[in-house]
Amino acid sequence: MDRSRPRRSHLMIWIWTIFVAVAIYLPVACGALAGLSKGRYFLFPIRAYSFEWWQKTLDSLEIQRIVQTSILIALIVTVVSLVLGFFGALAFARFDWRGRRLYQKLLLLPIFFPQPVLGLALLLWFNTLGIQPSWHTAIVAHLVWIVPVVTLVIAIQVYGFDPAMEEAAADLGAGRWMILRDVTLPILWPGIWSGALFAFLLSWGNFPLSLYTAGADSTIPKWLYSKMVAGYTPMVPALGTMSTLAAATLLLAGGAIAGFVKARRAR
Q: Which of residues 29-88 bind other proteins (CB under 8 A)?
A: 29-31, 33-34, 42-45, 83-85, 87-88
Instruction: Let me know: does 85 contact 154? Beta carbons within 8 Å.
Output: yes
With CB under 8 A as the contact rule, which of the stretches 50-58, 60-68, 234-242, 259-267 interacts with other proteins?
234-242
Phi, psi of 37 (to 5 degrees): -85, 150
Q: Which positions from 122 through 141 interact with other proteins, judged by CB under 8 A?
A: 122-125, 128, 140-141
What's the closest the beta carbon of residue 260 comes to other proteins, in angstroms?
16
Long-range contacts of 62-70 (CB under 8 A, 24+ apart): 63/223, 63/235, 63/239, 66/218, 66/219, 66/220, 66/223, 67/220, 69/135, 69/217, 69/218, 69/219, 70/204, 70/219, 70/220
With CB under 8 A as the contact rule, which of the stretches 61-69, 180-188, 238-246, 257-265 interacts with other proteins?
238-246
**CA 210/CA 74 separation, integer angstroms:** 12
Give CA separation, 197 vs 140, 180, 192, 200, 264, in Å: 18, 22, 9, 5, 21
Residue 116 lies near other proteins (rule: CB under 8 A): yes
Selected binder of other proteins within 114, 130, 173, 231 (CB under 8 A): 114
Q: How many residues bind other proteins (CB under 8 A)?
A: 105
What's the closest the beta carbon of residue 119 comes to other proteins, in angstroms?
9
* 70 closest CA partner among 224, 213, 205, 233: 205
* 31 closest CA partner among 14, 54, 10: 54
Residue 191 lies near other proteins (rule: CB under 8 A): no
Residue 2 lies near other proteins (rule: CB under 8 A): no
Other Cβ atoms less than 10 A from the Cβ of 125: the count is 14
Q: Which positions from 248 through 267 interact with other proteins, judged by CB under 8 A?
A: 248, 251, 255
Give CA separation, 8 vs 1, 136, 223, in Å: 14, 54, 47
Residue 216 lies near other proteins (rule: CB under 8 A): no
Selected binder of other proteins within 40, 98, 264, 267 (CB under 8 A): 98
Selected binder of other proteins within 71, 180, 187, 247 (CB under 8 A): 247
Taking residues 10 to 29 in sequence order and writing x for each that binds other proteins by CB under 8 A, - otherwise, the string is: x-xxx-xx--xx-xxxxxxx
Residue 188 lies near other proteins (rule: CB under 8 A): no
Residue 244 lies near other proteins (rule: CB under 8 A): yes
What's the closest the beta carbon of residue 39 comes to other proteins, in angstroms?
11
Residue 231 lies near other proteins (rule: CB under 8 A): no
Task: State the distance between the two ends of the chain, measured CA to CA, in whole angstroms.
Answer: 44
Selected binder of other proteins within 53, 135, 193, 204 (CB under 8 A): 204
Which letter does DSSP use for residue 207 in this model?
-
Give the burial class of 74: count Cβ atoms within 10 A of its Cβ; 0-12 exposed, 13-18 middle, 19 or more buried: buried
What's the closest the beta carbon of residue 4 comes to other proteins, in angstroms?
14
What's the closest the beta carbon of residue 231 comes to other proteins, in angstroms?
14
